[in-house]
Amino acid sequence: MSAASRVMAGLGDIRTWQENFYRGLHQHPELSHHEYATARKVAERLGQAGFQVHSGVGGTGVVGVLRNGDGPTVLLRADMDALPVRETTGLPYASTVTTTGDGGDAVPVSHACGHDMHVACLLGAAHLLAAGTEHWNGRVVALFQPAEETGDGAHGMLEDGLAKLFPTPDVAFAQHVLPAPAGTLGTHAGPVFSAADSMRITVYGRGGHGSMPQATVDPVVLAAMIVVRLQTVISRETPPNEPAVLTVGSIQAGTKSNVIPEHAVLQLNIRTYHEQTRKALLASVRRIVQAECAASGSPREPVFELFDRFPLTDNNAEVTRKVAEAFAGYFGDRAAPMGPQTASEDFSDLPESLGAPYTYWGIGGIDAGQYRRAQEAGRLAQDIPVNHASNFAPVIQPTLDTGTQALVVAALAWLAH
Taking only the tens place, the pLDDT of each residue in 160-215 is: 999 999 999 999 999 999 999 999 999 999 999 999 999 999 999 999 999 999 99
What pLDDT sits at residue 342?
Answer: 87
For 246-265, how does the pLDDT look when each residue is reduced to its tens digit (9 = 90+)? 999 999 999 999 999 999 99
For 95-137, how does the pLDDT look when each residue is reduced to its tens digit (9 = 90+)? 999 999 877 889 999 999 999 999 999 999 999 999 999 999 9
Are 221 and 86 in the same domain? no
Residue type for position 89: T
Are 175 and 201 in the same domain? no
Is a pLDDT exceeding 80 seen at residue 405? yes
254: CATH: 3.30.70.360
Give the total number of structural domains in the chain.
2
d(CA 141, CA 172): 9
**Which of the listed residues 247, 275, 309 is the one where a domain comes to its end?**
309
Are 212 and 147 in the same domain? no
From the number of C-beta atoms within 10 Å of its C-beta (0-12, 13-18, 19+), residue 42 rates as buried
| Global pTM value | 0.91
Are 226 and 350 in the same domain? no
27: CATH: 3.40.630.10
**Which of the listed residues 309, 336, 358 is the one where a domain comes to its end?**
309
At 266, the pLDDT band (50, 70, 90 cuts) reads very high
Are 236 and 297 in the same domain? yes
- Comparing 224 with 343, the larger pLDDT belongs to 224
Tell me the pLDDT of the chain averaged across its residues.
97
Average pLDDT, integer, range 289-302: 98
d(CA 47, CA 4): 23
Annotated catalytic residue, options 87, 116, 149, 345: 149
Is a pLDDT exceeding 80 seen at residue 1? no
- Is 352 in the active site? no
**Which of the listed residues 262, 279, 309 is the one where a domain comes to its end?**
309
Is a pLDDT exceeding 90 seen at residue 238? yes
Helices in 50-106 by DSSP H: which ranges?
A: none
Are 282 and 336 in the same domain? no
Annotated catalytic residue, options 79, 148, 218, 352: 79
Measured in degrees and rounded to the nearest 5, phi and psi for residue 80 equal -115, -15
What pLDDT sits at residue 315?
Answer: 98
Are 74 and 188 in the same domain? yes
Are 40 and 187 in the same domain? yes
- Is 325 in the active site? no
Domain membership of residue 333 as a residue range: 3-192+313-415
d(CA 175, CA 115): 10
Are 179 and 209 in the same domain? no
Are 208 and 183 in the same domain? no
What pLDDT sits at residue 103?
Answer: 78
Angle between helices 115-131 and 399-415 (to 10 degrees): 50
Are 285 and 322 in the same domain? no
Are 178 and 255 in the same domain? no
What pLDDT sits at residue 254?
Answer: 96
What pLDDT sits at residue 308?
Answer: 84
